Amino acid sequence: MLKDTLHLKAPGNWINDPNGFIYYKGKYHLFYQHFPYAPVWGTMHWGHAVSEDLVHWEHLPIAVFPTKEYDQNGIFSGSALEKDGELLLYYSAVKYLSVDENNIHCAEGDDYVTSQAMIRSYDGFHFDNWKDKKEIIPVSRVEEIAHSKHTRDPKVWEEDGMYYMILGSTIAEKAGRVVFYRSSDAVHWEYVNQYRGGRYGRILECPDLFKIGNDRVFMGSPMYILDDGKEYMHNALCALAEFEPKTCDLSLPGKYQFVDYGLDLYAVQSNVDADGRRVMIGWMRMPCEVQADDRSDWNGMMTQPRVVEVEDGHIYFKVHPAVDSYMSKVLEDDEMLDFTKPYRIQTRLAPHEFVDIGGYRIYIEEDILKADRSKVFKHYKNHRLTSDTPKLEGRYELDIFVNGNIIEIFANGGRYVLSNIVYDLRHQLSGKIDKIMVAAELL
């Protein structure tokens, strides 16, 4: 079986959103949106990978694919829940009202409807796509409750003996909203409430709502949140929230953070790990496919797992202890760095200092962490070539991970993260580098 380390990549062809991220029966399962025929978006399936440590991933056969009238044109994003020893996968089921004659994987005029469905698995590895599916929430025909097309991405959780579902939606494709359903058995669902906000894009996708201690954290991916003509206009954000389970009343502030300030990341999903930490993984968008020796041309990859914590009213995304332990061997001065394997740079910058990673430049300017990928992203001028965080208040401790086509920068212990997709990094480093670290298994 195909394997990935640190960052899960498409097994070939296309992937996007992480789905069904869960720790189940001693393994981490991560499903993902997958088009298995070309490195472009198409009829969605759920790909599947497992890991014992969140670092080493093994790709498995496709888990969920279209078989029903209601999901014939796509198994869109969703989540996972363990109940009575079974793994329940919840997803959005897509049916085109008219198919593009020149490309059956697209709806003509973007005309389709979406319902919510589920599939059971008794062990997390076997999925009967003909017998074990069930449509649980039909297409909404009442606009006041939910949009018939753009209501999707169910995140399901259990709290105090009840099951809750949050769905992303829209009001007439002009303002994002989320919709809440509730169930006593995780199968039969009733509409409860919704949140309408004016600052969360035109369509709100991939919502997630969870507790960390006494805090509630909301994550979501609003479309057209940065409507300035540059790619990408759709981005993942997070905010502290107030939520009343009995009524499903949600309150979100006007102020939010981006999950990642490189703005390539989209569609995040969280899970509780084996030790009770809240862990998040997100999809890194790529404008073009990559050629590889171990798989067919591929497009799309996931971030490394990040621990979500709340400190003094701020949401942190920290390096997971498993990653920290794995990327822990310090290179000595006489050891050579293998640029084809993942490596890690730790440094503390001053305002006049920089790090250059094969043409990708990281520096501090006016108390802001900045990154310039213009030399390693040359053919995509309509994309954002520079990225920056909010002000860092005079502290510039950086933990940088480099792995093929991705660079992730954790600033000040995860107060902000800035990640970018890159192409054609040169095999050279320069600037202020305090420490270079590689995988512990290389000892």
Min mean pLDDT across 88-102, 170-184, 356-370, 377-391 is at 377-391
Mean pLDDT of 1-23: 98
Report how far residue 27's alpha carbon sits from residue 51's, in angstroms, rounded to the nearest whole number.
6
Residue 74 has pLDDT above 60, yes or no: yes
Mean pLDDT of 306-313: 98
Q: Which tens digits make up the pLDDT trace of 132-168? A: 999 999 999 999 999 999 999 999 999 999 999 999 9
**29 DSSP β-pair partners:** 22, 50
pLDDT at 333: 84
Q: What is the pTM of this model?
A: 0.97
Report how far residue 279's alpha carbon sits from residue 115's, in angstroms, rounded to the nearest whole number.
28
Collect all residues with Cβ–Cβ distance below 8 Å to 327 and sequence separation of at least 6.
6, 342, 343, 344, 401, 437, 438, 439, 440
Using the Cα atoms of residue 34, residue 308, residue 373 and residue 232 in order, give the sign of their dihedral: positive
Q: Which tens digits make up the pLDDT trace of 268-278? A: 999 999 999 99
Min mean pLDDT across 253-257, 266-270, 412-416 is at 253-257
pLDDT at 441: 82
pLDDT at 229: 87
Q: Which tens digits make up the pLDDT trace of 374-400? A: 999 987 779 999 999 999 999 999 999
Mean pLDDT of 198-207: 94
Residues with catalytic annotation? Answer: 17
**97 DSSP β-pair partners:** none
Mean pLDDT of 69-90: 98
The answer to whether the peptide bond before residue 343 is cis (omega within 30 degrees of 0) is no
Q: Which tens digits make up the pLDDT trace of 220-235? A: 999 999 988 899 999 9
Report how far residue 146's alpha carbon sits from residue 144's, in angstroms, rounded to the nearest whole number.
6
pLDDT at 442: 55
% of the chain at pLDDT higher than 70: 100
pLDDT at 198: 79
* Mean pLDDT for all residues in the chain: 97
Question: Where is pLDDT greater, at 366 or 199?
Answer: 366
Residue 353 has pLDDT above 50, yes or no: yes
- Per-residue confidence at 443, pLDDT binned at 50, 70, 90? very low
Residue 422 has pLDDT above 80, yes or no: yes
Mean pLDDT of 43-72: 98
